[in-house]
Amino acid sequence: MSRNSSGKKVIKKTKGFSSGTRTPKPAIFFLGFLLVLVGILGILYNPSNSMEETLKWDLSEAGILSFPERGEPVFTVREVEDLYSPENPDTLKLVSFESGGDKVQALLRIPANASPSSPGIILLPGAGVSKEGEQGLAMELSKLGYATFTLDQRNQGAINIERDLELFRAGLEPVEYLMVYDVLKAADVLSVQPEINPEKLAVLGESNGGRFAVIACALEPFIKGVIGISTSGYGTEELDSSQVTDFEACQFYRSIDPDNYLSDLPPSKLVMVHSFNDTVISHELALRTFALAEEPKAMYNTTEETHGYTASMHPYLEKELSLLLN
């Protein structure tokens, strides 16, 4: 079902007015100024003048999200100082790109020892972590020879499912749909960078970022694989839509659950890395998601009592990225 309005404006015609008296010149000039100002504001705020229209999306009966074919990526790039590791010889660029009618920013890190056409990784931080805060992991990946494209996720990766459900019911774009679309647009932007091999792209997400990473990878065949760190699905595949009283809510909850997209991942590979003692998402939930996934897939476990990336996960990333992108 399409949740978008047509975007067409209804223009009402109004009759001209005549008071039967002559309007003083200052009033005429003031009125003319107002008309010009209104016209300028109309041009500036007319949605049809944006470089990308409001996001369009559809859901299947089973609640699987889809988007229409995307246009050419629109973006700007400028090199910036690497404040996160001044001694690091990497090249760091700030990229601003169009997505769903908004501007999204990302940091593109190009390894100093990069080949003329490097593999690229879209990096999605966990909730509350900015693109700058994810540069520690980005630098580790750079040392392995991978360029990273780290997104500034909307709400810094935090989600409000009930608020998104309200937007869904109103026919408006849930923020989580926009966040998935941002990943798809990021893949488009990354693939056309001169330093990147467009045939060697993967997406890596931590926690909530891992959820968006799985959905985006399932929707975009040219992404070779997805690595989810400290993440899982929600288990909504067990909901029986024929038995629920609120079909709309059921459909929405399914649409944001990566578990429901796992069958669409192959031939892209799913890699999961999770701690037995994760403090936020239990290891059992991660195992459940992994069990639902089809081959090719791989899972690695660590023991730290924490949530998110740890140094002990490094060997697994090195191994799996080499299999995915080299």
pLDDT of residue 52: 44
Other CB atoms within a 10 A radius of the CB of residue 301 amount to 17
Tens of pLDDT, residues 147-188: 999 999 999 999 999 999 999 999 999 999 999 999 999 999
Neighbours of 125 (CB within 10 A): 27
In 3D space, the residue among 269, 256, 280, 287 whose CA is nearest the CA of residue 217 turns out to be 269
251 touches 241 (CB < 8 A): yes
Six-digit token string for 45: 């705020």
pLDDT given for residue 37 in this prediction: 39
- The tokens describing 159, both together, are 């989600």
Q: What's the pLDDT at 54? A: 60
Output b/e per residue, 226-252; b: 16+ Cβ within 10 A. bbbbbbbbbebbebeeeeeeeeeebbb
Mean per-residue pLDDT for 283-297?
Answer: 98
* 226 within 8 A of 265, measured Cβ to Cβ: yes
Q: How far apart are CA 147 and CA 314, in angstroms?
A: 16
Least confident of 82-96, 132-146, 222-236: 82-96
pTM for this prediction? 0.83
pLDDT for the residue 51: 40
Angle at 157 between CA 217 and CA 240, to 5 degrees: 60
Nearest to 200 by CA among 208, 209, 190, 213: 190
Report the C-alpha gap between 41 and 52 in whole angstroms: 19
Helix and strand numbers (H, E) in the chain are 8, 11
The CA distance from 261 to 291, in Å, is 13
The stretch 112-120 carries a mean pLDDT of 87
So what's the pLDDT on residue 240?
74
Query: Is the separation of the CB atoms in 278 and 312 below 8 Å?
Result: no
Residue 20 region by backbone torsions, left for phi larger than 0, else alpha for psi between -120 and 50, else beta = left
Interior angle at CA 223, CA 151 and CA 317, nearest 5 = 70
Q: In a 3-state reduction of DSSP, which class is residue 146?
A: coil
Question: Is the CB of residue 82 less than 8 Å from the CB of residue 75?
Answer: no
Ranges 38-52, 172-186, 222-236: which has the least confidence: 38-52
Tokens of residue 31, six digits: 């009125």
